[in-house]
Amino acid sequence: MNPAYRAEQIRAAEAKAQVIVGDHVLMRRAATALATTCARLLVDQLGRVYGTTVVLLVGSGNNGGDGLWAGAWLAERGARVLAIAVADSMHEEGLHALRAAGGRVVDTAEWAHAIESADLVIDAIVGIGGRGGLRDPAAAVVQLCVDAGQLIVACDIASGVDADTGAVPASAVAADVTVTFGALKPGLMLMPGAQHAGIVELVDIGLEPWLTEAPELHVVQASDVADLLEPPGPHDHKFSRGVVTVDAGSPSYPGAGVLVTGAARYGGVGFVQQTAASSIPIEVRFPDVVMNEPITDHRVTALVTGPGLDGDRPSAQRLGAEHPVVIDAYGLRRIAADSDLANVVRERAARGYVTVLTPHEGEFEALMPGLDGDRLKRTRQAAAHWNCVVLLKGATTVVCSPSGVAWAVSVAPADLATAGSGDILTGLLGSMLAAEEARLRSQGGSVSADHAAHIAASAAWLHALSARIAVGVDAKPVTAEDIVLALPLAIAAVRAGEV
């Protein structure tokens, strides 16, 4: 996992580190990393650094100092470096270093020409302390970069993006690459800020010993997912690997049952059972799935319920089961509208059982009507209110446990916005939960809410990877069924360490 910290946590760690290493060492480390990335991009694009033109957009704070020092590094290697000051003052030592290396500050009349002639632009206007959108002249300069179609590298975070929430209240830089220092920031992962970050490169500048508080959220990495996808061992059998019950689909919505069940077959369990009506064509599609004779004993290790249901399903009896439960779609609207079912769900945690709710924004509104705030804040509040793990689906998926532990998954392609995609995630998540519950039961334990949040975030990450594989390098259109078929390829890639 990769932790992301709030701006105040980062600044506190920087203050402590500076006492040990000196006031300017951190800035020089950050600037060197920024310059190195820019040099690599220039070589990739043009085959050289010498003779290229780099434009710095410089604000008044330390973020501007990072940019100026990076500009000095590039100027020493033969780049023509031009600085545009969008504030009344600049970091003095950084400015001195830039000028000493041969860079210069351009007058207002030269701004447009400088940007048009640039091979690369470094955004060093404001850093993680910035609040609110950019104002002129910064906003006007950024628009010049957009009009010129320039390659932009952001210093720490794209200017105009809130580092804590990802909010973009007005004008902001849309970077192609962001070089961020010391630790990730939530605003790099949460929409709409994630859309402004481009490719994020995290650089270690030595803050880790002082980042001692709990992070604001965690970001899923391939290694987190791999830990949950171990292949079966020589002593495993179908029941030891876990049993997932799928209560999804109906004669009105048979496809939901097919998609949930299809995805559940790949999440690590050894036994998938479907309790939907026999008219749903699942036996023919998946002859390995057991139909209509559900196992109800202790061998069941998770339940998935909700997609494609109608009538009085899921029932209070089913939701009171003594194993992890994933509720989606119609099931979410049922518990939102039925206070008795809602109480059953809330009381599960007190009995030691994990519940995961997986709403999209419309379903979230039914669960938490009128709730304001950014996605992370709202998801945390919903998790505490329902005493459940809540996975809020979207371009950035946010997962929170009732304790406040949070995860973000910001790698999903827009191709996941297709009918049935959420059903696939639900089935995959239920299966991964069932497999992990079975493993922990064999050791005398069970899945906790915080661990379930980790599993849910990993399922969302794997779901996104499957979509990317389905789309492929030729960007072909995909349907939900294509994503299911890509799941084994995604799991194989994760297990092989090829992601």
Identify which of 400, 419, 405 has the alpha carbon closest to the alpha carbon of residue 460: 400
Task: Give me the torsion for CA of 98, 84, 167, 194, rounded to 10°.
Answer: -60
Q: How many domains does the chain have?
A: 2
In a shared domain, residues 44 and 105 = yes
Q: Are residues 201 and 308 in the same domain?
A: no
In this structure, the answer to whether residues 295 and 434 fall within a common structural domain is yes
Task: Please tell me whether residues 307 and 359 are part of one structural domain.
Answer: yes
Contact of 247 with 309, CB cutoff 8 Å: yes
Tens-place pLDDT, residues 9-63: 999 999 999 999 876 899 999 999 999 999 999 999 999 999 999 999 999 999 9
Q: What is the rounded CA–CA span in Å between residue 147 and residue 286?
A: 53
Asked if residue 103 and residue 120 are part of one domain, the reply reads yes
Percentage of the chain exceeding pLDDT 70: 98
* 206: nearest Cα among 27, 5, 8: 27
Mean pLDDT of 102-114: 95
pLDDT interval class at 132 (50, 70, 90): confident
Is the predicted pLDDT of residue 247 greater than 70, yes or no? yes
Q: Is residue 279's pLDDT more than 60?
A: no
CATH number at residue 410: 3.40.1190.20
Same domain, 289 and 142: no
Of the three residues 161, 188, 216, the one that is the final residue of a domain is 216
**5-18 b/e with 16+ CB inside 10 Å = b?**
bbbebbebbbeebe
- Pairing status of strand 217-219 against strand 406-409: parallel
Residue 326, beta-bridge partner list: 304, 356
Q: How many CB atoms lie within 10 A of CB 22?
A: 11
pLDDT greater than 90 at residue 412: no
pTM summary value: 0.93
pLDDT > 70? residue 293: no
> What CATH number is attached to the domain comprising 110?
3.40.50.10260
Tokens of 382: 């919903």
pLDDT digits (tens, 9 = 90+) for 442-495: 999 999 999 999 999 999 999 999 999 999 978 889 999 999 999 999 999 999
Residues 333 and 462 in one domain: yes
Q: How confident is the model at residue 291 (pLDDT cuts 50, 70, 90)?
A: confident
Give CA–CA dist 242/248, Å, rounded.
Answer: 19
Are both 102 and 227 inside the same structural domain?
Answer: no
Both 296 and 409 in one domain: the answer is yes
Under a CB-based contact definition with an 8 Å cutoff, are residues 427 and 263 in contact?
Answer: yes
353 pLDDT more than 60: yes
pLDDT greater than 80 at residue 94:
yes
* Per-residue 3-state assignment (H helix, E strand, C coil) for 180-209: EECCECHHHHCCCHHHHHCEEEEECCCCHH
Same domain, yes or no, for 170 and 78? yes
Q: Using CA atoms in the order 427, 429, 432, 436, what is the torsion angle rounded to 10 degrees?
A: -130
Question: Could you check whether the bond before residue 314 is cis, i.e. omega within 30 degrees of 0?
Answer: yes
Q: Which of 184, 216, 248 is the last residue of a domain?
A: 216
Same domain, 294 and 316: yes
Q: Give CA torsion, residues 8, 14, 20, 23, to 10 deg.
A: -120
Please report which confidence band the pLDDT of residue 185 belongs to, taking 50, 70 and 90 as the band edges. very high
* Residue 413 reports pLDDT greater than 80: yes
- Calpha distance 270→170 (Å, rounded): 51
Residue 68 C-alpha from the chain's centroid: 31
Domain that holds residue 396: 222-495
**Could you give the CA distance from residue 80 to residue 237 in angstroms, rounded to a whole number?**
66
Amino acid 499: pLDDT: 83
Domain boundary among the residues 216, 247, 278 is at: 216
What is the chain's mean pLDDT, rounded? 94
Q: How far apart (Å, rounded) are the C-alpha atoms in residues 469 and 472?
A: 5
Is residue 129 located within the same domain as residue 248? no
Cα(333)–Cα(119) distance, integer angstroms: 52
- State the Cα–Cα distance between residues 1 and 129, nearest whole angstrom: 25
* Per-residue pLDDT, 101: 97
